[in-house]
A and B are shown apart, each in its own frame.
Chain A
Amino acid sequence: MLQRTSRARLADAVSPWFVLIGFNLFCVWAATGYVMGQTQSKEYAEPEWYADLWLVLVWVTYFVVYIRTLARRAEPHIYVANWYYMAFILVVAMLHIVNNLALPVTWGSGESFTIWSGVQDAMIQWWYGHNAVAFFLTAGFLGMLYYFLPVRAQRPIWSYRLSILSFWGIVFFYMWAGSHHLHYTALPYWVQTLGMTFSVMLLVPSWASAGNAIATLNGAWHKVRDDAVLRFMFVAAVFYGLSTFEGSFLAIRPVNSLSHYTDWTVGHVHSGTLGWVAMIVFGAIYSMVPKLWGRNDMAWPKAVEWHFWLAIAGTLIYVVSLWNAGITQGLMWRAYDEGGALSYSFIESVEAMLPYYAARTLGGGLFLAGALLCALNCRATMRAAGNRVDEADRPLATQPAE
Chain B
Amino acid sequence: MSHETLVLIAKVVGPIWMGGFLFVVLIRAYNPRRKPEQERIARSILPDADAEDRA
A interface list, Cβ under 8 A from B: 4-5, 75, 77, 79-81, 147, 150-151, 154-157, 160-162, 164-165, 168-169, 172, 176, 190, 194, 392-395, 398
Contacts and interface: CB of A to CB of B under 8 A. Distances in A.
B47 A161 contact: no
6 contacts: A161-B35, A161-B38, A164-B29, A165-B29, A168-B25, A194-B11
B46 interface: yes
Interface of B: 7, 11, 14, 18, 21-22, 25-26, 29-30, 34-35, 37-39, 41-48, 50-51, 54
Contacts, number: 65
B47 A160 contact: no
Contact of B22 (A77, A172, A392): A172
A318 to B, nearest CB: 33
Contacts of A156: 39, 42-43, 46
A79 B47 contact: no
A151 B45 contact: yes
B37 to A, nearest CB: 8
A393 B14 CA distance: 47
Given A147-B45, A151-B45, A172-B21, A161 B29 contact: yes
B50 A165 contact: no
B39 A75 contact: no
6 nearest A-B residue pairs (beta carbon): A156-B42, A160-B38, A160-B42, A164-B29, A161-B29, A168-B25
Given A161-B34, A164-B25, 10 more contacts: A77-B44, A81-B45, A151-B45, A160-B42, A165-B26, A176-B14, A176-B18, A194-B11, A392-B48, A392-B50
B41 A77 contact: yes
B21 A151 contact: no
Nearest to B25: A168
B33 to A, nearest CB: 12
Contacts of B35: 161
Contacts of A162: 29
A154 B38 contact: no
A46 to B, nearest CB: 30
A150 B29 contact: no
Interface centre among A161, A172, A393 (most CB of B within 10 A): A161
A150 B54 contact: no
Contacts of A160: 38-39, 41-42
Contacts of A398: 54
A75 B37 CA distance: 12
B48 to A, nearest CB: 8
Nearest to B40: A77
A165 B47 CA distance: 25
A165 B38 contact: no
